Structure 1
Amino acid sequence: MLDLTIQTDQTVAMPEAPYVARHFIDGQYHDSADGRTSDRVSPSHGIVVSRAALGTASETGAAIAAARRAFDDGCWSDLSGKERAIVLNRVADLIEANEERLAVIETLESGKPISQARGECGGAADLWRYAASLARASHGDSHNTLGADILGVVLKEPIGVVSIITPWNFPFWILSQKLPFALAAGCTCVVKPSEMTPSTTAMLGELLNEAGLPAGVCNIVLGHGDPVGSLMTTHKDVDMVSFTGSTAVGKLITKSAGDSLKKVALELGGKNPQVIFPDADLESAADAVTFGVYFNVGQCCNSSSRIIVHEDIADAFVERVVALSRQVVFGNPMHPDTQVGAIVTADHQQKIDGYVRAARDQGAEVMLGGGMMEVPGLGQQFYQPTVVRGVTPEMEIARAEVFGPVLSVLTFRDFDEAVALVNDSAYGLSAGVWSEDVHTCLSFCRKAQAGTVWTNTWMDGFPELAFGGMKESGQGREIGRYGFEEFLEVKSLVMRIGRSRAPWVKTG
């Protein structure tokens, strides 16, 4: 066994019975018409943690119809920004009041550490509050310089019915990057969470009801991408699709939504680099790299899964990261000290291991970890914190989104080579640079092809700052003012004052 810090104790009480997750349609909870359900077995504890209704085209169609009616009758979109903000702020308060309940079920469904689930679920309230502030601050433009007899007004109106499809790795946080902003804009929504982590999204329906959201404004359908997700992306009554998940599925959604020219916003994969220059604060950089690759068990689109370190400091820096990796607390997700938990499925665990084995076969050196691991009392659905060096740009481990606790190490000689390695990727979600020279940092930020660039930090995020990627990492933005405006249509009003327009048809 590796010399790792392993936590086998548990301090958080287990639920007495599986959570029963049901569809939330038109303000009411429903089972599937055919009675089908799906059990989610906890990847860390091997127990059935939730039993979710398995949706069909019937439930999906009913949810879309409810959202369409609610939008068309104006019960939400016609409210003032103040009135919408009041409801969103109530939801935020209820999220905080239910943080522990949400976090426990999310930990058991996903395998992530309870401390990180608490931060995700409770912290999501801040996204709801910021979206509420945007509901009140939203406005269009006026143009009174078009001539004495013309007044131009630009309106921003809700786009309509939005399908929201979310993944399993941050089910509540990613939902909260989308839903409150769509609601703040006046849209109505149909939401589908991953079938692997349905419960916190289903629980949200209770909070929406309690907060006073009108029936039909937000509807939740549980189940698989086919048939639920596919109908949500093709139905004629859906005006926009907002999807977070794999690049492969994002491409399919773009194609299917194209038949009706729906707007599509995509937050997809990443292969995010951190570049370490010799003059960097190496202790801070090593700690950030360690955090960036192991946070959420590495199952994070923003994972810093590759570092590009200057060859003069590579040996010392990798040794520092390996030493820190050995101190990361690994094991039982239901203990607050645990920092790295379980892998979401056994199949995904095998996929992670395949990348590491292929890199070793191609000549890379595994400095730490590199295999599946059993945690006493919990089973084998864990993967060792892993550091792989001697990685070259053509290796698959340097190019593919491994989505696990695996760090790839590449080296560079000068600034231009570092930037070239950063941009030699199909992805462009985020990047980081470590240097005490502000000129180096600024030059890097301007040249890196990424939607977010961090300087001397990693994964700091704020509701005010937009999030999204370039290239195959997606299109559109989430959160911030730019993310809010994704859910708005722009309409220009051109108003002539009086009868000043000269006739086009000469009648005399």
Structure 2
Amino acid sequence: MANVLRVNNPATGELIQEVKIHSEEEINQALKNGHDSFKRWRKVNAHERSRLLQRWSQLVQEHKEEIAKIMTLENGKPLKESLGEVDYATSYIDWYAEEAKRIYGRTIPASTESKRIIVSRQPIGLVAAITPWNFPAAMMTRKAAPALAAGCPFIVKPAVETPLTTMRLVELAHEAGIPTDVIQYVNGRGSVVGDLFTQSEYVRKISFTGSTPIGKQLIKNSADTVKHMTMELGGHAPLIIAEDADLDLAVQQTLITKYRNAGQTCVCANRIIVHENIVDQFAEKLAEEVKKLKVGNGLDSDTQIGPIINEKGYEKIVSQIEDAIDKGAEVLAGNQYDVNKDQGYYFVYPTVLKNVSADMVIMQEETFGPVAPIVSFKTLEEAIEIANSTPYGLAAYFFTNDYKTGTYIHDNLDFGIIGWNDGAPSGAHVPFGGMKESGLGREGSIEGIEPYLETKYLSIGNL
């Protein structure tokens, strides 16, 4: 049927559920309902908003196993990772439940004795969000929680591949007592819903996580109504390993950042940049560990690497591997596949490529797959040049035990998120976001609620 989304299990190709596509009339009505609810929700006191968010978090945790299974079925990631994502998702709700009570104003000393100046913050209005398939729970709560905490109604369009997780989270928010018009979801094709969001007079802010080209289009389409924007866009993360690095630690953390969710994350390492004196040793150690990773259905307890989300993603990965091999890259692990296009599943075994060079596509474009390309460097200046030679600036990683080397690398990397001897720097309590074409604004920490607030000042005269 043309008016439904078919949600399939990427590990088997089996149909999980058919989901109704909302019509333009239904989406516009949902936007109006959200706009109308703003008048009421903004007046709910911060302590009550906090209590409702806390109750939502509690319900999500009570349904943790159920939500994780839904996520694995529609996304493919190993169940252990899905369970971890539910915790990650609730950490944002918990954080912003507290931040709701900490939206402070201030007074400014006036320039005359007869005036008083007061600065206050108020919610921006209806927020429309578009979330990705790779983290269907955490990317939704990372946007919804600060919006609701600030007093903004929230409407979200989940990815067509993974709508079920978001739908269940919204249901639990309603069960927690958050009004149905204050948090809503709509299902549909991105181009259609995106246009409705950007054109709507009711939407005051758009929050988007996804590709840079789509983000740019959303920004352009929102210009006529001057909407506020938070954009978490593409990445092409470098991972630098200095000569003095602890190689065992570097290998362990590279496994974490590169192969989580089968490499289908915006912050996973895409370019492994290793000092020439240790590159052979590191590559061998990494390949040895990569060969141990278990590929399979995410519902199997021993699975560590799940499927690629769809054929388009699979073909991009394969084309990059083949291009690298054609140009001289050496395969140390992987370059194996388990594919059935008729049934609709695509597995790429975790791959390590050595002797990679700058002219290979994999060094120029984000892979979004379980492939680690390794390139060597002689000097730190060369490593920094390789790392920064991209229009993206989301995440970067480096490994060294020398504080001078570490300080130099940190100061010269043009990336918003940096891990020093740490392959997993994300968290609800830290500001997540990128530089250059990787986005606008930050999500998480105290910075994450700022984009949902307007600032106004009051000058009182004639005192």
Aligned mates of 2:308, 2:2 — CA distance in 1: 30
Shift of 1:214: 2.0
Counterpart amino acid of 1:155? S
Structure 1 distance, partners of 2:325, 2:199, is 43
How many Å apart are 1:302 and its aligned residue?
A: 0.6
Aligned counterpart for 2:259 among listed residues 294, 297, 309: 294
Question: Which residue matches 1:239?
Answer: 204
Contact 1:55 1:228 in 2 (8 A): no
The answer (yes or no) to whether the contact 2:416–2:434 under 8 Å persists in 1 is: yes
Match of 2:33 among 66, 74, 96: 66
Distance in 2 of aligned mates of 1:149 and 1:445? 49
Deviations 1:30-82 (A, max 9, x none): xxxx99222112110221112111122111101100111001x2x21112111
Whether 2:114 is the aligned partner of 1:149: answer: yes
Mean Cα deviation higher: 95-104 or 48-57? 48-57
Query: Separation in 2 of the partners of 1:467 and 1:144?
Result: 34
Partner in structure 2 of residue 57 of structure 1: 24
Q: Which amino acid aligns with 2:10?
A: P
More divergent stretch after superposition (138-147 vs 397-406): 138-147
* Structure 1 counterpart of 2:12: 45
SS of the aligned residue for 2:42 comes to coil
Equivalent residue for 1:15?
none
CA contact (8 A) 2:13 2:345 kept: no
Q: Distance in 2 between matches of 1:292 and 1:427?
A: 17
Q: 1:207 to 1:337 in 2, by over 3 A?
A: same
* Contact map agreement 2:310 2:346 (CA 8 A) in 1: yes
Going from structure 1 to structure 2, the CA distance change for 1:206 and 1:369 (only over 3 Å counts) comes to same
Q: Which moved more, 1:144-153 or 1:336-345?
A: 144-153
Specify the alignment match of 1:463 in structure 2: 428
Distance 1:347 1:450 in 2: 28
The answer to which of 207-216 and 428-437 deviates more is 207-216
Q: Provide the C-alpha distance between the structure 2 equivalents of 1:497 and 1:389, rounded to a whole number of angstroms.
A: 74
SS of the equivalent of 1:120 reads: helix
1:283 to 229, 235, 248: 248
Residue 305 of structure 2 is matched in structure 1 by 340
Q: By how many angstroms is 1:145 displaced?
A: 4.6
1:427-466 map, 5 Å: 427-466=392-431
Show the 5 A alignment for 1:183-332: 183-332=148-297
Show the counterpart of 1:177. Answer: 142
1:36 aligns with 2:7: no
Output the amino acid matched with 1:201.
T
Aligned residue number for residue 425 of structure 1: 390
State the Cα distance separating 1:389 from its structure 2 match. Answer: 1.6
Partner secondary structure for residue 239 of structure 1: strand
Which residue number corresponds to residue 29 of structure 1? none
Report the secondary structure of 1:259's partner residue: helix
Equivalent in 64, 85, 88 of residue 120 of structure 1: 85
Match 1:411 to one of 363, 371, 376: 376
Separation (CA, whole Å) in 2 of partners of 1:465 and 1:473: 17
Q: TM-score, normalised by structure 1?
A: 0.88
User: Is the 2:46–2:101 contact (alpha carbons within 8 Å) kept by the matching residues of 1?
Assistant: yes
Q: Specify the SS of the correspondent of 2:306.
A: coil
Q: Partners of 2:441 and 2:300 in 1: how far apart?
A: 37
Contact 2:143 2:207 in 1 (8 A): yes
Q: Deviations over 1:287-318 (max 9, x none)?
A: 11122111001000011121110000000000
Residue 399 of structure 1 pairs with residue 358 of structure 2:
no
Q: Which has the larger radius of gyration?
A: 1
| TM-aligned CA deviation for residue 380 of structure 1 | 5.0
CA–CA distance in 1 between the matches of 2:281 and 2:2?
Answer: 59
Query: Letter of the aligned partner of 2:417 in structure 1?
Result: T
What CA distance in whole angstroms lies between the structure 1 residues aligned with 2:224 and 2:122? 23
TM-aligned CA distance change 1:394 to 1:155, over 3 Å: farther
Q: Does the residue aligned with 2:179 lie in a helix, a strand or coil?
A: coil
Task: Give the distance between the partners of 1:336 and 1:449, measured in 2 at CA.
Answer: 39
- Does the 8 Å CA contact 1:134/1:481 hold for their aligned counterparts? yes
Can you list the C-alpha shifts for 1:428-469, whole angstroms capped at 9, x where unaligned?
001111111011111211110000111111122221110000
Instruction: Write the deviation string for residues 185-241 of structure 1: whole angstroms up to 9, x where unpaired.
Output: 111111100011000111122211111112311111011113222201221111111
Residue type matched to 1:495 in 2?
I
Q: Which amino acid aligns with 1:80?
A: N
Q: CA deviation at 1:371?
A: 3.7
The reply to whether residue 165 of structure 1 matches residue 130 of structure 2 is yes
Superimposed CA distance per residue, residues 165-184 of structure 1 (whole angstroms, 9 cap, x where no aligned partner): 00100011100111101111
Q: Residue 483 of structure 1 aligns to a residue in which SS?
A: helix
C-alpha distance in structure 1 between counterparts of 2:6 and 2:369, whole Å: 24
Q: Distance in 2 between matches of 1:61 and 1:53?
A: 16
CA contact (8 A) 2:384 2:412 kept: yes
> What CA distance in whole angstroms lies between the structure 2 residues aligned with 1:258 and 1:370?
44
Q: Distance in 1 between matches of 2:118 and 2:274?
A: 52
The answer as to 2:70 corresponding to 1:105 is yes
Q: How far apart are the structure 2 equivalents of 1:490 and 1:402?
A: 40
For structure 1, the residue ranges without an aligned partner over 5 or more in a row are 1-33, 499-508
C-alpha contact (below 8 Å) 1:49/1:105 kept by paired residues: no
Amino acid paired to 2:202: D
Q: TM-score, normalised by structure 2?
A: 0.97
CA displacement at 1:359 relative to structure 2: 1.2
The AA in structure 2 aligned to 1:149 is: S
Does the CA-based 8 Å contact 1:112-1:333 persist in structure 2?
Answer: yes
Which string of whole-angstrom CA distances, capped at 9 and with x for unpartnered residues, describes residues 86-138 of structure 1? Answer: 00000000110111111111101111111101110133111101001000011
Cα RMSD over matched residues? 1.5
Q: SS in structure 2 opposite 1:305?
A: strand
Partner of 2:222: helix, strand, or coil? helix
CA drift of 1:374 comes to 4.9
SS of the aligned residue for 1:168 comes to coil
Identical pairs, percent: 35
Instruction: Name structure 2 gaps, 5 residues minimum.
Output: none
Could you list the runs of 4 or more consecutive aligned residues of structure 1 that deviate by over 6 angstroms after TM superposition? Answer: none
Distance 2:110 2:358 in 1: 55
